[in-house]
Amino acid sequence: MRVLVTGGSGYVGSHTVRELAAAGHEVVIYDNLSTGDRRLSEGFEFIEGEIADGARLAPVLDRVDAVMHFAASAYVGESMTDPRKYFRNNVESALKLIDAVLASPVRTFVFSSTCAVYGIPQACPIDEESRKEPINPYGATKLFFEHVLEAYRVTHGLRYVALRYFNAAGAHASGLIGEIHDPETHLIPLALKAALGSAPPLTIFGSDFDTPDGTCIRDYTHVSDLGSAHVLALEHLAEGGASMSVNLGTGRGTSVREIVDVFHALTGIRIPHQYGPRREGDPPCLYANPARANEVLGWVARRNLEDILTSAWGWHQKFESKTA
């Protein structure tokens, strides 16, 4: 199939386009490079544009079979301080994108959603029917857009899968692409940069959570596994499969402390760190029940925490030496 990938120059988008290509699909990347990095889309057809620009999208939509929509603002913390940016980019502009899709023959849509739609879960693991009460504008915008997709399924015959990722992490096996965010706020890149001495010592946000070691638990899922789930979601829709929202996680929770310890065990290198106060809005524990992804898409996360840390470490050593 030919797939238009909005945000294909971002972290998850760029890994997904490689999974699409490996599965024999053709890719057109559409990105405004506001947070994406042009280097991540090298080797693919690339169009620079805004998702709100229907006139620019129309001719592209005429020559693709499906859309994968990653382009969004995606910092939880920033969404608390600048919510207008999130409602503008993730809702207002995304509505214009979906209007352009509905004006075209394309009806197959894969959406990059998030576990932030759940807010603070009542229990872990989290399945798709868990209560959805986002605690930040980022999660609220993603949940809103899931409602848009469901409404347009009913009224316009749109067919979609919304993939709710837990914590995307790791780097591509080629060593050519990995996680680049500016500013960087995510745990694993900050920890590895601290290990390389290119960032200050890691601050572990909170040591008094109600978890076995007092630090937060998350479900770190390899970004290439997330990419392969998008391919399976596309193929599920192409085969006439039902529209739905699906969790993407390993089903295993890992604490911040464990990340530091496993990295040390793997490399012999200690991540310089200190404990600090909790970060506002951090739920103590988030990990997925990925049963639906397995049953419906035939997906399972194939890479474990060691694979995540090893691939990310390889990438960061190379990337930091290039940018130093």
C-alpha distance from residue 229 to each of 83, 164, 219, 248 (Å): 29, 11, 16, 8
Closest CB 227 distance from ligand UFG, rounded Å:
16
Site track for ligand UFG across 61-100, x = CB under 6 A? -------------x-x------------------------
User: In the set 120, 205, 241, 318, which binds ligand UFG (CB under 6 A)?
Assistant: 205
- The single residue listed with the structure tokens 């065990």 is 265
Question: Is residue 158 at the binding interface for ligand UFG, with CB under 6 A as the rule?
Answer: no
Question: Is residue 185 at the binding interface for ligand UFG, with CB under 6 A as the rule?
Answer: yes
Q: How far apart are CA 301 and CA 288, in angstroms?
A: 11
User: In the set 37, 235, 282, 320, which binds ligand UFG (CB under 6 A)?
Assistant: 282
Question: Is residue 308 at the binding interface for ligand UFG, with CB under 6 A as the rule?
Answer: no
Question: Is residue 18 at the binding interface for ligand UFG, with CB under 6 A as the rule?
Answer: no
User: In the set 29, 40, 106, 116, which binds ligand UFG (CB under 6 A)?
Assistant: 116
Q: How far apart are CA 11 and CA 40, in angstroms?
A: 8
- Mapped onto helix, strand or coil, the DSSP state of residue 305 is helix
Q: How far apart are CA 12 and CA 144, in angstroms?
A: 21
User: In the set 167, 224, 228, 245, which binds ligand UFG (CB under 6 A)?
Assistant: 167
Q: Which stretch binds ligand UFG (CB under 6 A): 103-111, 112-120, 125-133, 306-314?
A: 112-120
User: In the set 29, 101, 256, 288, which binds ligand UFG (CB under 6 A)?
Assistant: 256
Closest CB 7 distance from ligand UFG, rounded Å:
13
Question: Is residue 138 at the binding interface for ligand UFG, with CB under 6 A as the rule?
Answer: yes
Q: How far apart are CA 301 and CA 221, in angstroms?
A: 7
DSSP string, 160-207: EEEEEE-EEE---TTSS-----SS---HHHHHHHHHHTSSPPEEEE-S
Residue 44 or 189: which CB sits closer to ligand UFG?
A: 189
Among candidate residues 11, 75, 86, 138, the one labeled active-site is 138
Closest CB 228 distance from ligand UFG, rounded Å:
19
DSSP string, 244-291: EEEEES-S--EEHHHHHHHHHHHHS----EEEEPPPTT--SB--B--H
Closest residue by Cα to residue 127 from 9, 294, 247: 247
Question: How many CB atoms sit inside 10 A of residue 105's CB?
Answer: 9
Is 152 marked active-site? no
| Residues of this chain that bind ligand UFG (CB under 6 A) | 74, 76, 114-116, 138-139, 167, 185-187, 190, 202-205, 216, 218, 256, 279, 282, 286
